[in-house]
Structure 1
């Protein structure tokens, strides 16, 4: 029994394979063949978010018939079968000889969830009432589609005693995009997700009481939808209501979509870390393979190797010897990133495996064995999904905390190694563009910390019968919320990183351009000093050092301070003569004026036409290009976010942009999958697959057809 190839592997291999399969499935007209054991996460994503088609294998249909024959024989023999000729849960000691009516009663009484107001509810008494009409009261359409897929697949194992017709009608809901409106809350995932799944069972009966959503989010009911497509509702058989409602399909469906998104965010976290190393002027030493050789955790081996590959060809990383009395090593947020990310990758691999197994498992009760025996147990207990979601959510919080530290170090001039305060492109006194970002990421990281709390508030339910309940769906829901929050944090950090990289390249370019001018100016005052003299090098290094230490000053004061800092270098040099003081003063005054003029001109030119790409590493170059060129997020300065005045609104609503506007552009690219595809392409290239064999294969065929209006947008 394969359970869709659940053998553990490196996280990078897992996600590259997943994206490649997703691309294949979404770019072909061939339907996904379901047999109860071959479902993978990309299949679930493809059906839930991209409308991929499915079909039922012949062998699976035959297994359905065999289990149904066993059920009919046992009933004819007078056997007592839980939920078929007995009541349910704490009242299972009650017997009945009307099993079909019992199934209808079960499904009917499980329709207890609260949904948004429908046509029969009339107008709200308070038009401003909070959340009264939002979709938050029901599962996103993609979650329900994934639920249908998993429920079909698990029933096809032939352990549940359902008819092929019943499974086919569930298939019809997918085929015609008839999506039952399922309440968001109300499941404890103990005896499975009873109430949410009951709405699927109600829908295939063609009930007018079951509201459904169409592809364009129009609301109807199951009876009208069936009439539209010429379908007849099914009359539930002796075990079919219980077989559909008793199981973990809803929790597994939500978890499958969440883990796909979380895996993508984990790749993005490694890319952003590599970009942070460059933006902070860090070193590749932290990712030397020797560290992983001496501490060979799979996740650490993988993450350090990835980040090192992402930094290939960078001109911004430094060799840190500590000779200039600075920190000998990078700060923790980048130096220990591989050790921090590694365990998260290992947890995500295990979580992925658990969810795949669950999506290919029989999770109702009782089950019918191939030998014709009914066995009563607890496969509906969804603790495996809870386990997967708890470690996923904890991992997302860990990633968020790391990104928060990296981002705050960029914004803070005391930790950024020469970047201006608040990442401003102009004088610090005139702007504080990214100060709000510092507040924003603090709020997001705090929320992630709260969400990382365990979902363990188990209550005894159903007459004391359900004393253990997994709360898997609740855990999956809050993990999806964590995905949303981390996606915002990723977007905000990426915008800040691109700003920081531009600022870093601006400085590098300026000093490359200004060094000959400095040499000329020095030679005019001191004709004996050549660019190879030790005094020249000492003076130039002091200029660079002072430039970093004066980032909080405006240009008018900054370059005066820099030039004055050279006096001690002159005085301490063996060639200094007391009669040279006046010449030193003349030189420093000329230098201050020259540098300020050159800096302002170079900065203005870079703001207009600058491009950091040539100096960036292989990963940063692609990410930076995507943000700047594809998404249109520019190098930010005050003029580019200034509120339009008077008639200066030619761009309509888009004429007035904010930092938040650009954060939102990147966030939507995270959520709708565009940035994820870029990240997977980079990862494929970094792992030696090459662009043709790896990156493109993993992304071809994926079109932007995700459900952006939903809470679980494609990543």
Structure 2
């Protein structure tokens, strides 16, 4: 696959293709032309000798310091070196690739005043799979992701580090040489244009949106399996009950769960049983209300990210009429707020899943399943400690759901006196979603074990597919086994599309 960058921008699918699929990147001729036009305006300003921020002045609190023409290239290189001040473990390769692509996108919009060769150099890094080493700490979302983007730009200069094949850092100069690439000499404005913007936090948010959409559907699957295993009712998920509270996501989740529970001998076994509970517990009956609210939150976040993909986030910006104006478009508040909101929603999807796990394992509430889903409880502990693991993860997600975007700290001699913390918000969102994967894995494992213990009753098509997906790893109910590998297997099933695809072959597409 090849992603062609037009002067109108790119799509979320393009970001995923480059970040995770190693798609090649091409700059459209119209993009090169737009950048050349923008650059000509900067060249004219240089010729006039006017003091313009980022072209002939220092940066941040040094914005009033005039820089002589003969030192402006030096200024751009010094900017990159001084701002590449991050520390900590490297960011994942997919995040760095997304960030670089989005920086190319920003330059391609034709408001940054850089020569086309600067964008082409970033494209060369992507296409030769040269991935800068970007430390996890350094960005406050002020002027965007200055430090992370500076670590990317530093590689263009033949300096800094890259991620080696073994995950260790290697000198960038060696990586460029192996790829047949030459370092870039920056001109006026270009260093600033490489590091001002929201590309890191936007890249992480786009990846998170994709992951959250899949996990929220899988949350409907694992909820339905747990409800089935606990002899729950499918009546709370009837469409007419959700039409009278028309939150879109709630209706989608309810429809998914209702369809997943059909054609099940387990469900049929108690449908007309007078002893059956009139109302299921909230963690069962209210599954669509929680997961659906998370879906609606995701829709809001998707809208915010879509707007940002159309946005010029550089500073200063070069306008077609020749003006160069300072802006605040690099401020990451829209992305930070959205990421915090989605982290809250995802944390609650995991929290309600853990409550269903607890019910499945509790002999007083699981409707005749053995304690901790062990046929020989006492000598054996069954899935007791898997619920401990889930509870610990829920507690961590509650901490991570505390918003980062309210935690502003002033920097740059009070010039940057309010920052977004958008990088922190999007980074912790990814952790919350990874934790949600684990929580749904524990629910899937518990629900499958519960359905196995309902034999000889035949479960729903979704239940049969889940048993087939996990059965080879977990075996039949029996004596205790080493549990961690089973949870890892369940994580893989939740994270990938295989189980969902199998279920959809039986009951049609899930939303």
Category of TM-score, reference length = shorter chain: over 0.9
Shift of 1:686: 4.8
Residue in structure 2 matched with residue 444 of structure 1 by the alignment: 393
Partner of 1:593: none
Residue of structure 2 aligned with 1:618, choices 461, 467, 488: 461
- Deviation of residue 320 (structure 1)? 5.2
- The reply to whether residue 112 of structure 1 matches residue 112 of structure 2 is no
Q: CA deviation at 1:446?
A: 1.1
TM-score (norm 1): 0.68
**Structural RMSD (CA):** 2.0
Unmatched tracts of structure 1, length 5 or more? 1-29, 116-136, 509-614, 642-657, 695-715
| Match of residue 350 from structure 2 | 400
Alpha-carbon contact 1:188-1:470 (below 8 Å) kept: yes
Query: Displacement, 1:215?
Result: 4.0
Structure 2 gaps, min length 5: none
Change (3 A) 1:451 1:218: closer
Q: Offset at 1:218?
A: 5.1
Which residue number corresponds to residue 500 of structure 2?
679
The answer to whether the aligner puts 1:494 opposite 2:444 as a matched pair is: yes
> 8 Å contact 1:44–1:149 — kept in the other structure?
yes
User: What's the counterpart of residue 131 of structure 2?
Assistant: 179
1:463 aligns with 2:463: no
2: CA distance, partners of 1:414 / 1:42: 47
Contact 1:273 1:307 in 2 (8 A): yes
Segment drifting more, 451-460 vs 210-219: 210-219
Question: Shift in Å at residue 321 of structure 1?
Answer: 6.1
The alignment status of 1:433 with 2:382, answered yes or no, reads yes
User: Residue 150 of structure 1 contacts residue 360 of structure 1 at CA under 8 Å; is this kept in 2?
Assistant: no
Which secondary structure state, in structure 1, belongs to the residue aligned with residue 474 of structure 2?
A: coil
Matched position secondary structure for 1:430? coil
Tell me which of 30, 55, 59 is aligned to 2:26: 55
Q: Which residue of 1 aligns with 2:485?
A: 661
Q: Give the superposition deviation at 1:371.
A: 2.9
Deviation of 1:669 (Å): 4.1
* Aligned counterparts of 1:63 and 1:624: Cα–Cα separation in 2: 56
Decide whether aligned partners of structure 1 residues 677 and 160 sit closer, same or farther in structure 2, where only a CA change above 3 A counts: farther
Q: Distance in 2 between matches of 1:668 and 1:688?
A: 21
Deviation at 1:349, TM superposition (A): 1.4
In 1, are the aligned partners of 2:224 and 2:261 still within 8 Å (CA)? yes
1:618: how far off? 2.9
Aligned residue in 1 for 2:476: 635
Aligned to 2:46: 75
Which secondary structure state, in structure 2, belongs to the residue aligned with residue 64 of structure 1? helix
Deviations 1:88-117 (A, max 9, x none): 1122111112322211111111122225xx
Partner residue of 1:280?
230
TM-score (structure 2 length as normaliser): 0.94
Cα offset for 1:685?
A: 6.7
1:606-641 CA distances to partner (integer Å, 9 max, x unpaired)?
Answer: xxxxxxxxx222322222221224xx3322421x62
Partner residue of 1:410? Answer: 360
Shift of 1:46: 2.2
Q: Distance in 1 between matches of 2:163 and 2:411?
A: 31
Greater Rg by CA? 1
Cα deviation, 1:523-545, whole Å, max 9, x if unaligned, reads: xxxxxxxxxxxxxxxxxxxxxxx
Count, aligned residues: 507
| Secondary structure of 1:470 counterpart | coil
Say if 2:15 and 2:98, in contact at 8 Å, map to a contact too.
Answer: yes
Looking at structure 1, the residues matched to 433 and 377 of structure 2 have their Cα atoms a distance apart, in angstroms, of 34
Whether contact under 8 Å (2:264, 2:460) holds in the other structure is yes
Contact between 1:320 and 1:329, CA under 8 Å: does it hold in 2?
Answer: no
Q: Deviations over 1:540-575 (max 9, x none)?
A: xxxxxxxxxxxxxxxxxxxxxxxxxxxxxxxxxxxx
* Aligned-residue offset at 1:245: 0.7
Rate the CA distance shift 1:154–1:687 in 2: closer, same or farther, 3 A. Answer: farther
1:30-57 alpha-carbon deviations (Å, 9 max, x no partner): 4111115452333222212221211111
User: In structure 1, the residue corresponding to 2:437 is in which secondary structure?
Assistant: helix
